[in-house]
Structure 1
Amino acid sequence: MTVPHREAGVRLSTANLTELEIRAERVGLNLADGHARQPLTPGQEKIVDRLPELFHTARRAVVPDLDREAQVTYLSVLGQHTALTEAKILSCYSSSVAMEIFARALFAAGLRRVGLIHPTFDNIPDILRGVGLGLRAVPEHVLHRADTAVLPDLDALFITTPNNPTGGVLDEPALAQWAAWCAAHNVVLALDTSFRAFDPRAQYDHYRVLADSGVEWVVIEDTGKVFPSLDLKVGFLAYATGGRLPLWRIYTDILLGVSPMILCLVTALAREGAGGGFAALHQTIARHRAGLHAALPQPTYGRWPDPGNRISVERLALPPGLDAGRVSDDLRARDVHVLPCGNFHWADRAEGAGHLRIALSRPEKDLHAGAEVIRDYLAAASAG
């Protein structure tokens, strides 16, 4: 059966980013979602060949032991050693489920005023607002400069680092300053570090900084952006014990736990990452980014506004006069799916109206083919 490009009665202008990503999975070249869809490395191929073995291992093992092993292996590889001694860690189906638990816990604790990084992926503000929290936009540059003087009164501060879609990383001195500010003002500090594995600059020990500050903190980690495992993934919800948030209670309202087979798979993939898989991933993403830039050289086809970005998505600032929503619709009609960035700018969509986001975790031939279509479209738009 042929799946239509558009569902009847659905206006793409009102769609959230995940709706657009779902459409991209159905037809054409999917350069939309940030999930890991690049080819498996040779080491990962060997792990996939062992899936029956991992399944039977999971059946025989004690699940809490598998859970802890996955947490220790993944977080250690990424430099988060203090998490293993200072954090309570809950394993979730995904980072979005962890986000829902965190949001509900804030509401239950009476903490309703949340400062949220701007821009960021729109499901974060959607989930936070969906449980009744009030959001104040905190520009990303304010966070990177640690400009604490400009913040309004808050109950929680939420930072995505590395940030999606910009790739911006909150460095250690800035994190220490925000942690100290939050501790002094009784503000919960929350981090979403789902893209941490792509950027070594994001792999200093965040948990040590948080623990040393005395702040009440929550960190959301995710394997789904990293391993091309067909969305077999784990999100980790880590937090300091003794705080105000009833995270464990709300977790048990929603989950019993995640599949022990997936825990075994995550452990095996993290070990492969430590043995060279993450280095290979960094090289792949860097090569794909360079190829995309070469196919769409600036300033002819726009600008690449995030020169320090190392994560698996890249923003393109379109030539003046082009609207990203219209351009993404036109590209979709040509069977190439990218994301317009308006929704990332959740407090002011107009700020993202001139940007597209292009996913890099893809087979190189797909990225090249998509870039050719984008190039031809922009060349025609410029000529017209």
Structure 2
Amino acid sequence: MNVVPVNEAVSTETADDSRIDGNLTQLEYLALNSDFNLSDGHARQELTPGQGKMVGELPRLWAEAVVRPVEEIERESHRAFFHLLGQHSYPGADGRVLACYSSSVAMEIFARALVTEADAIALVHPTFDNIPDILRGVGLRLVPLEEDVLHGGDVPAELLGSVGAIFVTTPNNPTGRVLSRERLVRLAEQCAEHGVVLALDTCFRGFDEAGQYDHYEVLEASGCRWVVIEDTGKLWPTLELKIGWLVRSANVGLPLAKVYSDILLGVSPLVMLMVKRLSEDAADGGLRDLHEFIATNRALVRANLHDVPGLTFVDPDSRVSVERIHLGDRSAMDVWAALREHNVYLLPCGRFHWADPSEGDRMLRIALSRSPASVDVATRALRSVLMGD
């Protein structure tokens, strides 16, 4: 079967377009109109009653956003969000928190600033492929930092000496692994010793309490140069209305504010007020309910697939809103193509393994921030495909 470039496949349905050679976001794009899109990791479940109440308040929030100072709204918004997730030491009072349209925009700003002083960066492996794509896109050379090395002890001195920064996703997407407080303390110390910038992507922090210790307390005490990217978009089904926060140390020494001003002026104060209200609702029990919702959908996936021969669940302790499965000797792209015939979309994992895609060729990722009915139908279809029914 021929491989069709995504830019052709998106616009033209052909007999050959079930096999796609594209990045993960392009594959996710193909799934957007499906009722059984378990592809992208964005929140697409139904609104809870508390979230629905916030939607009902939008006219009032709009009127409030029109008259109040933007700086005041922004300060209240990031305080509510960061405190919800245990980040009480974040530097919210001295202009070191920049609001972006998304975490990808924040990442682009960081990459463009970093390349002014460095030509190489160590990146956790595996992780979502738009991160290496963005970093490579500004001309940075990527050095793989395997998860087992990252979590197992000190990062090798020779690696630290060869790069200008280390980039870690915690909790990681797709594995769900969380950098412990102990490991963050030591990693920050090593980065300070070598003059290396430590960058953290914490976009899935809200799903795992193990990742909600106060990272900023650790980072500020370490003296290292650091950047953290936070994200509201994975938690709440807000139709892509979200904020990516770009937070930096006082001594980071990178032109982040200048690059930020090259790209945007700021985000909508209406979205900031939405994030504030959603954070307050989450603090009032909504976050606990979200954890239970994701756990229920994960259990549903495992129940529907538990007896499929050769299939294993790769991340048994994961708490994030995605679930990986290993297909045994089956090709993930073959299964993806077969599922597409049923209008069901999961995500093949090859490109998560950006330094060696073959490592993910027999794995699929299932998004769990969906209605239980969609998860049930999609995983039953997957079971049928795998069992040859």
Q: CA deviation at 1:14?
A: 1.9
Q: What CA distance in whole angstroms lies between the structure 2 residues aligned with 1:255 and 1:157?
A: 26
- Which of 106, 124, 127 does residue 131 from structure 2 map onto? 124
Q: 8 Å contact 2:78–2:92 — kept in the other structure?
A: no
How many residues are aligned here? 376
Q: Does 1:358 align with 2:366?
A: yes
Corresponding residue SS for 2:195? coil
Structure-1 residue corresponding to 2:83? 76
Q: 1:151 to 1:161 in 2, by over 3 A?
A: farther
Q: Does 1:13 align with 2:17?
A: no
Query: Unpaired runs of 5+ in structure 1?
Result: none
Q: CA deviation at 1:332?
A: 1.2
Q: What CA distance in whole angstroms lies between the structure 2 residues aligned with 1:298 and 1:289?
A: 15
Q: 8 Å contact 1:298–1:304 — kept in the other structure?
A: no
Superposition map of 1:79-158 within 5 A: 79-84=86-91, 88-108=96-116, 110-149=117-156, 152=159, 153-158=162-167
Q: 8 Å contact 1:72–1:84 — kept in the other structure?
A: no
Q: 8 Å contact 1:79–1:204 — kept in the other structure?
A: yes
- The TM-score with structure 2 as length reference comes to 0.94
Q: 8 Å contact 1:138–1:151 — kept in the other structure?
A: no
Deviations 1:174-219 (A, max 9, x none): 1111101110000000000000000000000001111111100000
Q: 1:86 to 1:214 in 2, by over 3 A?
A: farther
Corresponding residue SS for 1:148? coil
- Which of 35, 39, 42 does residue 32 from structure 1 map onto? 39
Q: 8 Å contact 1:5–1:27 — kept in the other structure?
A: no
- Which of 324, 327, 336 does residue 328 from structure 1 map onto? 336
Q: 8 Å contact 1:92–1:235 — kept in the other structure?
A: yes
Query: Unpaired runs of 5+ in structure 2?
Result: 1-7
Q: 8 Å contact 2:308–2:386 — kept in the other structure?
A: no
Structure 1 runs (4+) greater than 4 angstroms displaced: 9-12
- Which of 238, 252, 263 does residue 247 from structure 2 map onto? 238
Q: 8 Å contact 1:98–1:220 — kept in the other structure?
A: yes
Q: Does 1:220 align with 2:229?
A: yes
Counterpart amino acid of 2:136? R
- Which of 346, 360, 367 does residue 354 from structure 2 map onto? 346
Q: What CA distance in whole angstroms lies between the structure 2 residues aligned with 1:199 and 1:175?
A: 16
Q: 1:263 to 1:165 in 2, by over 3 A?
A: same
Q: 73-82 or 292-301: which moved more?
A: 292-301
Corresponding residue SS for 1:124? helix
Q: 1:133 to 1:369 in 2, by over 3 A?
A: same
Q: Does 1:171 align with 2:180?
A: yes
Q: CA deviation at 1:327?
A: 1.1
Q: CA deviation at 1:6?
A: 4.6
Corresponding residue SS for 1:129? helix
Q: What CA distance in whole angstroms lies between the structure 2 residues aligned with 1:205 and 1:298?
A: 40
The two structures, once aligned, show a CA RMSD in angstroms of 1.6
Q: CA deviation at 1:19?
A: 0.6
Q: 8 Å contact 1:95–1:194 — kept in the other structure?
A: yes
Q: 1:150 to 1:329 in 2, by over 3 A?
A: farther
Q: What CA distance in whole angstroms lies between the structure 2 residues aligned with 1:242 and 1:255?
A: 23
Structure-2 residue corresponding to 1:65? 72
Q: What CA distance in whole angstroms lies between the structure 1 residues aligned with 2:252 and 2:180?
A: 25
Q: Does 1:265 align with 2:269?
A: no
Q: Does 1:373 align with 2:381?
A: yes
Q: 8 Å contact 1:305–1:316 — kept in the other structure?
A: yes
Counterpart amino acid of 2:274? L
Q: 1:326 to 1:253 in 2, by over 3 A?
A: same
Q: CA deviation at 1:277?
A: 0.4
Counterpart amino acid of 1:368? D
Q: CA deviation at 1:334?
A: 1.6
- Which of 56, 81, 95 does residue 63 from structure 2 map onto? 56
Q: What CA distance in whole angstroms lies between the structure 2 residues aligned with 1:325 and 1:150?
A: 38
Q: What CA distance in whole angstroms lies between the structure 1 residues aligned with 2:306 and 2:157?
A: 37
Q: What CA distance in whole angstroms lies between the structure 1 residues aligned with 2:10 and 2:261?
A: 38
Q: What CA distance in whole angstroms lies between the structure 1 residues aligned with 2:265 and 2:295?
A: 39
Counterpart amino acid of 1:208? E
Q: 1:216 to 1:374 in 2, by over 3 A?
A: same
Sequence identity (%): 48
Q: 124-133 or 80-89: which moved more?
A: 80-89
Counterpart amino acid of 1:300? P
Counterpart amino acid of 2:90? A
- The TM-score with structure 1 as length reference comes to 0.95
Q: 1:141 to 1:217 in 2, by over 3 A?
A: same
Q: What CA distance in whole angstroms lies between the structure 2 residues aligned with 1:99 and 1:375?
A: 37
Structure-2 residue corresponding to 1:295? 304
Q: What CA distance in whole angstroms lies between the structure 1 residues aligned with 2:308 and 2:336?
A: 19
